């Protein structure tokens, strides 16, 4: 007889960041993780994580709503169901609950973690097998201070932590942001690639001015310069400039990816398990992009170790990530809630070993940082 899902517990975990992290829509001094602990009738526990940025500043789900909706609506759909048929459980959630992609991603991660532990397989093996076990990781420079960002970049380079950098812009006037980015690229020269993430802050006219100047400054990739729903504008920008556009908020799932590709978009897609409702949804988007000749980038919502490890297992199954990954979320946090942190070295991170996620909780730290 197959095991069934017995209990699903959610915890809000507040972790301080190593420095203020400035984005176009907010500045973060802490990150709140929604940790899911799913247990089956055999006593096997699966871990999941749902994380967003800045409460409701980034999107329609907040940490509090993720927890409440799992507890009230999503968990009751799963409890008592067979634990090993992930496809049926995903269909159940999709049929009875609209949206809530981050909450669904957390639950899918916990289900896969439990299944991996049950079978003695890693999550990457459950998804077909890892094609790479060391993934490149860039670092985001988001202090907002040009001199501090330059110093931080050189420190990361010299420590062999990161050799590509992304800058969060869009909170300041276009000319001010461009000057900030150009100064950092000039200081780094050929030692590192520099990209920008505008986080939807520009209108199309501002984007034309900003991207032209950033292209001249040697910036290699422009992420989501205009609002997510402006697909036609993003396609126009992609076709107007040599520097490629990276679609992030514009492309949550394979349907969005199809619409952009069919419209003539050329550039790259940022994959995120949170916005795609889980690992399988993100990989569906990835496979569509590969078919359309669109590059891939392993994105983050600044998850902690659980969510980052889940993403790494998904990205590891792909043959190529043309633009690498930004799976640095745990490095932005002052502390962790796992017994063994991820191994960051040689400008990247190692895929965790062991069944499921390959991650074990530190119960004392979890209790310390969990919201009372």
List b or e across 20-32, with b for residues whose CB sees 16 or more CB atoms inside 10 angstroms: ebbbbbeebeebb
Using H for helix, E for strand and C for coil, what is the string for the chain?
A: CCCEEEEEEEEEEEEEEEEEEECCCCEEEEEEEEEEEEEECCCCEEEEEEECCCCCCCCCCCHHHHHHHHHHHHHHHHCCCECCCHHHHHHHHHHHCCCCHHHHHHHHHHHHHHHHHHHCCEHHHHCCCCCCCEEEECEEECCCCHHHHHHHHHHHHHCCCCCEEEEECCCCCHHHHHHHHHHHHHHHHHHCEEEEECCCCCCHHHHHHHHHHHHHCCCCCEECCCCCCCHHHHHHHHHHCCCCEEECCCCCCHHHHHHHHHCCCCEEEEECCCCCCCHHHHHHHHHHHHHHCCEEEECCCCCCHHHHHHHHHHHHCCCCCCCCECCCHHHHECCCCECCCCCEECCEEECCCCCECCCCECHHHHHHHECC
Check whether residue 158 and residue 208 sit in a common domain: yes
Tell me, yes or no, whether 339 lies in a domain. Answer: yes
Tell me, yes or no, whether 357 lies in a domain. Answer: no
Check whether residue 63 and residue 134 sit in a common domain: no
Query: How confident is the prediction for the chain on average, in pLDDT?
Result: 96
Rounded CA-CA distance 109/72 in Å is 19
The predicted pLDDT at position 138 comes to 97
Check whether residue 107 and residue 157 sit in a common domain: no
Report the CATH number at residue 268. Answer: 3.20.20.120
Q: How many CB atoms lie within 10 A of CB 12?
A: 16
Contact predicate 70/102, CB 8 Å:
no
Tell me, yes or no, whether 151 lies in a domain. Answer: yes
Rounded CA-CA distance 300/8 in Å is 24
Contact predicate 13/33, CB 8 Å:
yes
Catalytic residue among 108, 152, 223, 326: 326
Check whether residue 150 and residue 189 sit in a common domain: yes
Check whether residue 93 and residue 214 sit in a common domain: no
Model confidence pLDDT, tens digit, residues 272-309: 999 999 999 999 999 999 999 999 999 999 999 999 99
Dmax over CA atoms of the chain, in Å, equals: 65
Tell me, yes or no, whether 358 lies in a domain. Answer: no
Report the CATH number at residue 56. Answer: 3.30.390.10
Check whether residue 80 and residue 214 sit in a common domain: no
Check whether residue 219 and residue 266 sit in a common domain: yes
Check whether residue 66 and residue 148 sit in a common domain: no
Q: How many domains does the chain have?
A: 2
Tell me, yes or no, whether 35 lies in a domain. Answer: yes
Phi, psi of 325 (to 5 degrees): -140, 165
- Regions of the chain short of the pLDDT cut 70: 1, 21-26
| Encoded tokens for 269 | 């897609």
Catalytic residue among 117, 168, 185, 272: 168
Check whether residue 116 and residue 171 sit in a common domain: no
Tell me, yes or no, whether 173 lies in a domain. Answer: yes
Tell me, yes or no, whether 145 lies in a domain. Answer: yes
Q: The domain containing residue 9 runs over which residues? A: 5-123+363-369
The predicted pLDDT at position 21 comes to 67
Rounded CA-CA distance 299/309 in Å is 12
Check whether residue 149 and residue 62 sit in a common domain: no
Contact predicate 286/318, CB 8 Å:
yes
Check whether residue 148 and residue 225 sit in a common domain: yes
Tell me, yes or no, whether 355 lies in a domain. Answer: no
148 given a catalytic annotation:
no
Check whether residue 172 and residue 264 sit in a common domain: yes
185 given a catalytic annotation:
no
């Amino acid at each position: 007889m197959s095991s069934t899902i017995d209990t699903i517990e959610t915890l809000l975990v507040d972790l301080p960041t190593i420095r203020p992290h400035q984005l176009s829509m907010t500045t973060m001094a802490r990150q709140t993780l929604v940790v899911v602990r799913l247990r089956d009738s055999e006593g096997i526990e699966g871990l999941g994580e749902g994380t967003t940025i800045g409460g409701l500043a980034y999107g329609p789900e907040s940490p509090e709503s993720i927890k409440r909706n799992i507890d009230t609506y999503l968990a009751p759909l799963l409890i008592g169901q067979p634990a090993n048929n992930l496809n049926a459980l995903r269909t159940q959630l999709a049929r009875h609950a609209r949206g809530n992609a981050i909450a669904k991603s957390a639950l899918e991660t916990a289900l896969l973690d439990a299944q991996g532990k049950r079978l003695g397989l890693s999550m990457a093996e459950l998804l077909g097998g890892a094609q790479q076990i060391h993934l490149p990781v860039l670092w985001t420079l988001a202090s907002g201070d040009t001199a501090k960002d330059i110093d931080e970049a050189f420190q990361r380079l010299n420590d062999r932590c990161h050799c590509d950098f992304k800058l969060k812009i869009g909170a300041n006037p276009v000319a001010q942001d461009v000057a900030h980015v150009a100064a950092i690229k000039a200081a780094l020269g050929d030692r590192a690639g520099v990209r920008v993430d505008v986080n939807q802050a520009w209108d199309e006219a501002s984007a034309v001015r900003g991207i032209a100047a950033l292209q001249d400054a040697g910036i290699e990739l422009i992420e989501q310069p205009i609002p997510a729903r402006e697909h036609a504008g993003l396609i126009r920008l992609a076709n107007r400039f040599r520097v490629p556009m990276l679609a992030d908020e514009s492309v949550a799932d394979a349907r969005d990816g199809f619409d952009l590709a069919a419209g003539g978009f050329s550039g790259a897609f940022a994959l995120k398990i949170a916005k795609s409702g889980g690992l399988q949804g993100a990989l569906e988007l990835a496979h569509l992009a590969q078919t359309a000749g669109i590059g891939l980038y392993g994105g983050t919502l600044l998850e902690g170790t659980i969510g980052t490890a889940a993403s790494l297992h998904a990205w590891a199954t792909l043959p190529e990530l043309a633009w690498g990954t930004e799976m640095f979320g745990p490095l932005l946090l002052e502390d962790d809630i796992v017994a063994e942190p991820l191994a960051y070295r040689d400008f990247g991170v190692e895929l965790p070993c062991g069944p499921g996620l390959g991650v074990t909780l530190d119960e004392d730290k979890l209790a310390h940082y969990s919201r009372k």
